[in-house]
Every structure is written in structure tokens, then in C-alpha cells.
């Protein structure tokens, strides 16, 4: 490996086919070796910490022999190749041809930038049932640099993933896992991310958004199909939400009002990413569907759960680990299994009804829109805040006109109780807008410089 490629790998960070390890630990390395063998292969850089800092290791023949021995003891044996650059040991793990592979600690599969343990039944189901894991790693014979590849899409991806062009384009795509061995063709995941139009290659991979009048599918107001690459489609769906969901005005403290969607932005983003990452792309008779009703938003995708239903929300297993890993590089996915809980938390913090999840041949997330009561409560809070704002503005104005004005005089002029004046004065004091000079009796209030109430 050349220095330039190694520097690129370190800067690009951990992913589905790259892992950093600061020190040698046989247990940890054995897990990673079988995880890469059970996925599409990858590299382990020994001597690099999680932050991408070069710490280095003492490379000896004994260390190399121990690592080769770990690979031989996997069941079945895993093919690896070792190379070194200065004080960094590079372990190249090849995709296994006799999956699944197991180490002494069990079966592991690569999910994003981590290795996840599976039971024997799960690993068998993962590789055999409905051809799962095959789709995003399969070479697409129709797509090529000359047919469908959009270089601008790659540029956008690299910018958002903070990857620099320090090595040739093919090497970049290969290290992202989107090209086959020796650069032999694009994998389906590469088509989905870097194509000009998804429907040219996968008509079922478009996303359909529909706006209805009422709470059923009887009256359609608007319908849009999004058929570009995965990242563009994701952003277009979000814009569809921004266009067709209501805005709520939120005022925090003394700051300006903030426009937020009636359904939390985070919940909508997580639900869309979940559908893109986990849908069954082998199912050609269905697509990701976004339905907006008067009372709810439903986001559904073909393909049910791979994990057991009782483990839903506690752990996650993507049927498209390469797609999942690429989304993770874009910071659209965090740690494995956290998305569902983030959706629940976002809805709870917004004071909305908790989301509903439906399983079967389709997986659906149902996010409930605010009821009239919810909107009334929000409007009531906004009205009260505006009333308080006007009261404090009057207090500031009267104090500026007469520093020695009393609470009784403020109450009389503004038309509220003395307790109300006391409360507002305390709020202004805590915000640093007012300062009390002297004792309660005989003293006065001072408006601090640039302390106008806003």
C-alpha cells in the first residue's frame, strides 16, 4: 500500500469495510475478521485509534503469526493478507466464499462501522432467507462510468462525508465498497448513490409521496415520485414535508421566534433513513411510500423485520449493510439500533402521541400530527408568552422614564397585580436586563446597557 492511499483511508474514517484498532487484542480482532468475512471483506489498521490518530504498534513476526493463527482458527478458515507501512500493520480480510464464518465468540456481521453479534439462527436466516444481504453487494452489469454514473453525485457525497480527492476516483469508490474486486463493475449500492436516475436501473427504488384530504386514501390532493439518487431523494422527501406540513412558531426565552414543523424534524428524518436503509430492494413490486393524512404521516417500505419482534428498538440489523454504511458516512445514521428510540423521544418531547410501528411484509412508521387540542395548547402558550413580552416591554419603558418608580405604581399603570410585577421584575433581573441599585425601599431599578427587552 502506498502512503497516499493509507493517508486517505485514515482521513476517511471507519466504515463498513474499514476498522481502526490502537492495540492488538485477539478477542476483538477475531470478531472483526469474521465480521468482514461474513460481509464483503475489509481492512483493519492496527496502530490507529478511534479518532484516526496514528499511535503505531511494534510489528514483529510473532505478532503476524498470532494474527494468521486467529484467521486459521475461524470456522471455516478466513483468508487474510498482512502488509505493513512503517509502524502500522494492515490486515486485508477477504470476503468469504463459504459464509457464514464463526470465531470462538460467535457469529458477527459488519453493520456500518461496527461488528454486530448474531445467533446461529439469525446468521443463517440473514444469508439464506429471501436472498438478504445479496442485493447491495451484487455487481450491476448495466451500470458503468459511461452509462448512468453521475460524477456530481460522487462529488456531493465526498463533500458531505468530508472525503478528499487525494487518490484516483476508482480507488475512492473501491474503498467505499461500491466497486467490485479489482474495480470490476459497480455494486448495486453504488448505483443507488451515484446514478443520474434510479428508475433507469431500479424502477421500484423510487420514493412516492402522496398528500390526502381526510384520514383515508379516498381523496388525493397531490402526488410526487422522486427518482434520482438516494441522497437527492432523501432531501426531496424532506422538502415535501416542509411544503405540506404545518409550521409551529416556538418562542424560547428572550430569543426570536423559531419555526418548527408540527411533527419533529428528527422523527421524520429518522423514519425516511430507516426506510431507505432497511427496505428489501429485491422486492420489485413495491416502493417506499410516504402518505400524509390530516391526522398522521405514514412511511412504509417493503420488507419486514429481520430481528425478532421483541428485540425491535433494542437492536438493529440492516438487510443492506453497504447502503447502511454509506448513509453512516453522511452522518444520516448514528449507532446501530438507535433510530427507533430517537423517533420515540422526538415525538415525546414535542408532546405528541407516541408513534406506531407495523410489521409484516411491509414495515411502517406512523407519526401522528398534532390534534386541535395540541394546536390550541401551543397557541395558548404562544399567546401567554406574547402577553408577558408586552408586559415586560412596558415595565422597561416605565423604569427608563422614572428609575424610582415603585412596584405599586407599575402595577397601577400596567393593570396587573403586584405579584405579577414582582414575577416579571425577577425574570428581567435573571436575564441581566435589570439591576437593583440600593435597598428595596429607597433604591431604584437600572436598565443595563443594551438591555432592551426583545
Query: Starting at the edge strand that comes first in sequence, how are the strands of the sheet with 362-368 ordered?
Result: 219-226, 207-213, 288-292, 296-302, 362-368, 356-358
| Rounded Cα distance, 186 and 443, in Å | 78
Q: Do 88 and 48 meet the contact criterion of CB atoms below 8 Å apart?
A: yes
- C-alpha cell of residue 65: 503469526
Q: What is the mean pLDDT of each run of 10 residues along the chain (454 residues)?
A: 84 87 92 90 92 91 94 92 92 88 88 80 62 73 94 94 86 89 86 93 94 93 94 95 83 58 92 91 89 96 75 71 88 73 89 90 92 61 66 87 86 84 85 82 77 50
pLDDT for 24: 92
pLDDT for 418: 83
| Rounded Cα distance, 133 and 127, in Å | 6
Instruction: Supply the pTM of this predicted model.
Output: 0.66
Length in residues, the chain: 454
pLDDT for 454: 45
| Rounded Cα distance, 18 and 251, in Å | 44
pLDDT for 374: 66
Residue corresponding to grid cell 430492494: 281
| Rounded Cα distance, 340 and 125, in Å | 23
Q: Do 267 and 355 meet the contact criterion of CB atoms below 8 Å apart?
A: yes
Of residues 393, 415, 391, 406, the one with CA closest to residue 445: 406
Strand-pairing partners, residue 260, are 248
Q: Do 187 and 178 meet the contact criterion of CB atoms below 8 Å apart?
A: yes
Phi and psi torsions of 263, nearest 5°:
-105, 130
Strand-pairing partners, residue 118, are 107
pLDDT for 438: 81
The three-state DSSP-derived secondary structure of the chain is: CCHHHHHHHHHHCCECCEEEECCCCHHHHHHHHHHHHHCCCEEEEECECCCCCECCCCCCHHHHHHHHHHHHCCECCCCEEEEEECCEEEEEECCCCCCCCEECCEEEEEECCEEEEECHHHHHHHHHHHHCCCHHHCECCCCECCCEECHHHHHHHHHHHCCCCCCCHHHHHHHCCCECHHHCCEEHHHHHHHECCHHHCCHHHCEEEEEEECCCCCEEEEEEEECCCHHHHHHHHHHHHHHHCCEEEECCCCCCCEEEECCCHHHHHHHHHHHHHHCCCCCCCCCEEEEECCCEEEEEEECCCCCCHHHECCECCCCCHHHHHHHHHCCCCCCCCCHHHHHHHHHHHCCCCCCEEECCCEEEEEEECCCHHHHHHHHHHHHHHHHHHHHHHHHHHHHHHCCCCCHHHHHHHHCCCHHHHHHHHHHHHHCCCEEEECCCCCCEEEECCCCCCC
Other beta carbons within 10 angstroms of residue 90's beta carbon come to 17
Distance of CA 157 to the CA centre of its chain: 15
Backbone φ/ψ region at 15: left (φ over 0), alpha (ψ -120 to 50), beta: beta
Amino acid at each position: 500500500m502506498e502512503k497516499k492511499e493509507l493517508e486517505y483511508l485514515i482521513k476517511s474514517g471507519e466504515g463498513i469495510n474499514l476498522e481502526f484498532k490502537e492495540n492488538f487484542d485477539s478477542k476483538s480482532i477475531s470478531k472483526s475478521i469474521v465480521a468482514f468475512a461474513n460481509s464483503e471483506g475489509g481492512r483493519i489498521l492496527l496502530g490507529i485509534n478511534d479518532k484516526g490518530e496514528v499511535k503505531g504498534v511494534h510489528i514483529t513476526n510473532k505478532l503476524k503469526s498470532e494474527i494468521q493463527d486467529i484467521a486459521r482458527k475461524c470456522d471455516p478458515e478466513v483468508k487474510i493478507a498482512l502488509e505493513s507501512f512503517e509502524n502500522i500493520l494492515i490486515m486485508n480480510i477477504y470476503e468469504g466464499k463459504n459464509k457464514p464464518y464463526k470465531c470462538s465468540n460467535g457469529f458477527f456481521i459488519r453493520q456500518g462501522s461496527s461488528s454486530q453479534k448474531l445467533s446461529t439462527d439469525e446468521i443463517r436466516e440473514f444469508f439464506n432467507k429471501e436472498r438478504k444481504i445479496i442485493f447491495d453487494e451484487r455487481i450491476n452489469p448495466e451500470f458503468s462510468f459511461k452509462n448512468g454514473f453521475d460524477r456530481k453525485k460522487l462529488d456531493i457525497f465526498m463533500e458531505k462525508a468530508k472525503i478528499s480527492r487525494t487518490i484516483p476516483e476508482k480507488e475512492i469508490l473501491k474503498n467505499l465498497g461500491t466497486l467490485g474486486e479489482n474495480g470490476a463493475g459497480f455494486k448495486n449500492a453504488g448505483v443507488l448513490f451515484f446514478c443520474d436516475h434510479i428508475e433507469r436501473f431500479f424502477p421500484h427504488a423510487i420514493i412516492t409521496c402522496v398528500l390526502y384530504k381526510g384520514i383515508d386514501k379516498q381523496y388525493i390532493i397531490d402526488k410526487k415520485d422522486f427518482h434520482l439518487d438516494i441522497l437527492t431523494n432523501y432531501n426531496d422527501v424532506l422538502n415535501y414535508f416542509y411544503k405540506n406540513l404545518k409550521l409551529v412558531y416556538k418562542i424560547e426565552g428572550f430569543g426570536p421566534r423559531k419555526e418548527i414543523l408540527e411533527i419533529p424534524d428528527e422523527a421524520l428524518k429518522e423514519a425516511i433513513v430507516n426506510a431507505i436503509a432497511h427496505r428489501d430492494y429485491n422486492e420489485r413490486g413495491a416502493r417506499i411510500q410516504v402518505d400524509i393524512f390530516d391526522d398522521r404521516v405514514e412511511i412504509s417500505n417493503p420488507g419486514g423485520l429481520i430481528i425478532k419482534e421483541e428485540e425491535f428498538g433494542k437492536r438493529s440489523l440492516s438487510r443492506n449493510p453497504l447502503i447502511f454504511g454509506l448513509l453512516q458516512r453522511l452522518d444520516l445514521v448514528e449507532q446501530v439500533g438507535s433510530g427507533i428510540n430517537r423517533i420515540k423521544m422526538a415525538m415525546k418531547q414535542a408532546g405528541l402521541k407516541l408513534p406506531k410501528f407495523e410489521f409484516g411484509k411491509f414495515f411502517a412508521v406512523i407519526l401522528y400530527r398534532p390534534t386541535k387540542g395540541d394546536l390550541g395548547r401551543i397557541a395558548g402558550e404562544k399567546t401567554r408568552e406574547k402577553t408577558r413580552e408586552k408586559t415586560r416591554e412596558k415595565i422597561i419603558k416605565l423604569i427608563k422614564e422614572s428609575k424610582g418608580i415603585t412596584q405599586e405604581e407599575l402595577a397601577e399603570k400596567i393593570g396587573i397585580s403586584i405579584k405579577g410585577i414582582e414575577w416579571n421584575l425577577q425574570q428581567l433581573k435573571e436575564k441581566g436586563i435589570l439591576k437593583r441599585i440600593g435597598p428595596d425601599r429607597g433604591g431604584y431599578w437600572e436598565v443595563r446597557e443594551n438591555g432592551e427587552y426583545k
